[in-house]
Structure 1
């Protein structure tokens, strides 16, 4: 199972909503995929715990660890962005990446 598949499985396990995967293989030298999901604060904290237990060796950095409406989990080639519903709409990640290939 790839890092991308493992990350998606974790997000499904915590019941993240509107999971979207954007491919950047041809567009960025830093990462291959963004995964964007909508979570509440509790699920965001649970996601960090699951990623720490299941992909700890692949985690490069975690931003927004506690009580925030945005969490970033850097897994190297895969970067996970978890937003509250209102922040996801406000920051418009999905609109920004409409021209990017969605998986």
Structure 2
């Protein structure tokens, strides 16, 4: 099957730059990758094991992650967590509901 490659030219001869409407400029990793990385970090996966674990969870998108990239992404996640943890909640009113119980998956017949 032959596919013709579209040619894009501007009317004044200037080069045309492609800008995706779906992906912001300079995005090199997906949010799903960041989420998976932070989840693995919380589960205790080391930076050296991170690429293998991410490639299983996310797929080929995770290939080629260096240890420094993993460390930088973990640092960003930590800073977001500390900002969330130190957020002032004084201006909000809170209602607490405490529930305690036991769930048994066994059927009694």
- Indicate whether the TM-score tops 0.5: no
Q: Larger C-alpha radius of gyration, 1 or 2? A: 2
Higher strand share: 1
TM-score by length of structure 2 reads 0.23
Considering Cα pairs closer than 8 Å and 6+ residues apart, tell me whether 1 or 2 has the greater RCO.
1
